[in-house]
Structure 1
């Protein structure tokens, strides 16, 4: 059982190695390189073997010829002994011999008469023949008393052969020619050598394949381990480290990967901790937060969002319009995703707990290139806050209305008393009259804010040229003291058409002028500019007074906030004028900001769209 398990495991490992493209590539490179080198070696050895065989064949041929020549010059007894022993000698194994006996005179006569007898029998391994011609070239040379040599195709051997003819003299009363031949090349020996080289090559190829396989496996084993380590790191698991054994390229790569893993683990822990903190913050938030991607799939929704939007788990990965039933929120998400702009709104929605009043804001999520990658919506249940604000507005409005009547009566009584009070009492009467006027101004400002908060000014919009607001400046200049700062009004030559609440914009400009006169102590001028800039209507009020400290600029629009409170109390003012201006500008979808003027004074800038929607 264990053997089968080990065999199965080995098979799986072999299959895994062979399925690896890197392993196959390395194995192929090693095997082909080794095969090429081995083939070159085999070819070189084969070439040397062939050359040595040919050289040995040539040398042996010359030696045998020398032996035959020596035998030809020996005595008759020795020649006969040599011929009788010729067939058993190993050195003559690939030679072919023939004794050519020249015909006698009688045989020659019989031959001339047409009779033929050329087979004189066999003696040992030597064939004896009587040749009547035509003689081959080497035999003709031997008949002439010389050693004959020739090379030609032999039909019996089916290859080129070397032919030799040596005159052996008279033997047994006959002239004998020793005719011998052998293959011109040692093909049999060469074929044997090549066959052995082929067998060696096949065996070497098999061993080379095994060595290449093991070498390729040994080469990719560290790479596979590094790949596994990188994959684990990509999956968020960084428990293992690379064990560096050698200071080679792989060792340096392993060190770098270990450092990268340590850094990754540290960053991952930081990200995990930050994500957990963020999830805790979102979980504890009263506002609902929902995020979707560019494919309209829900990525995240905290507990407040699940409560406010009535989301049912699991909703992650689903289309937002499948889970969010309120069309107002769906339209906000659609606008943020498709048009890439922020959508804000508020209104009544039906929740499982009942009807509630919510405020929401859907903002697009952009990449560094500016592409919309998704959207996030923040939803706040302001039912209780709105109820409290409504109660506060009603209280303020009612209290202001109740205060207006006695304040008016007090001012009237003070004006009447001026005719009956002597010179000693007039300073006190004037002080009471001044504070009564201030109290009346505060009441009027509070009533104005109440009307703005209660949306009592809706429907007052009209189309007009914004330059007509310069009349407010002229009226203000006529009513101001001649000792005050000089008022300068600059308007553009082209009309500045707007559709807005004219009465509210006049009130905003009047408040800015009053603020400039009140706080531009020692100033010589107040400048009003009305013009169009970048497709928006712009109103600027600048003075050359002491200006507003930079740290105060963000707070001057708060209700009842004053700069240098002791000085402003002496100079009057309700502390609501700039707050009223801001509310008016926001109702016109505009912006208001304060800057340092050209001479160091205060510069208030109002910018509103040229066309205002009907929902003011």
Structure 2
């Protein structure tokens, strides 16, 4: 239902009351004036009839009817009044306007009938003879206490109507002026009443919009003044309280935002109340979208959901380590505790998320490095130990055996030294990649790719694997051809090792999305998603047994990664278990900073 302003509720009411009152006064005044005018005409006609009453009575009593008619015409002409004399039986004796002999019997006229009863008769009606509305006044003529006739005087009431019309026009004009003045006064009064309310409405809207420093003008009226003062006091108190709350909230938000740990608060129904930016980043949530949603909807991790449920049900602190899987695997140390209000009542749970992924990865890298280095060093060390024990057991006394064993010890020592040197070289390559300027030249990519394919043809032919190359002859890039060739060889070699006999491998290079992508696709066994984030780490093997069987050292993909970094690019992998993998080297179109 539409709402109207108070001004348009008050003003029409005042205006309607004024117009109705004016109409009633006008109607009553018009009726009263008309009645007054008619009474005046009646009195005038009665007086005129009484002036000629005696003369007409004498003439009638003497039987001189002709003289009566002449007198009626003479006096009627002089007084502009119609005068008619009627006998008791209704016959007309004289008339100032018509021939009496031609006039009908007037005994049935109402004023005549009343006069014949001995009282003056008055009647207003339309005259068929004169074709106009007339007022008739008849008085009885008595001679010797006997009614010998009736004298009737009459005037057209059109003069009354004309007079009333003029008066009505003046009344109407006066009423119109009064109505206009009343309308203006009503509008002024209505606005005077509604303006303070309108100002308060505007002020209330400003308060609702946050402008609590705005103050309403205090009207003169007692009621409006008190209301305005109360609203101003309310705004001042709200402003103070909101400032306090905002200050506290800003302090809390500053603390939460600056925290490295993620903070997540849920209510008793496990709906998210609040979370900081760190928690949103760790849980891959939107700050706004997550609020109000259940933890089961917001976070698809059963371990975190279970921890929150246990914290709420057991009403105590719980600490656990959980793993979040996604584009990147995250290790979190999670502590859940009871969230309480100011009165100490439990209202939910507070969860603190500490990201220990980097620590876990460093620990894992350390363990893998130690395990891999230990494995690589174990074989030569075992051999050396065995030969030394043989020499100590007596072989040293036999010069021929001693020389043979010492030669083997020297060979294993050289192998051990080579492993140490390889590890140092790998470390040096990483350092040079980060700090040294790599010599790049504008070259055709297809030449480097063809060289890599040719280098792997023999190994591929042994398993009847076809290598397809798709690269535009005109595609050029800033590269170090030997390094890029080595990277592609490593990827093709890896694809051959993990492809079944008779399958195919596609090597492709193309410019896409402001970069050049060199990809190697196989249709082998594929790689599970949990292995992808660590696939390019040193010594990392998805299937350690199969990798050793194939002669892999776990350094091939790490070399590919560092070659891509040396070109200012990166490396990525997409894989679906059972369908194969795609390894891609992303090269920038422009030479990266620090590369010549």
TM range (shorter): 0.3 to 0.5
TM-score, length of structure 1 as denominator length: 0.44
TM-score, length of structure 2 as denominator length: 0.45
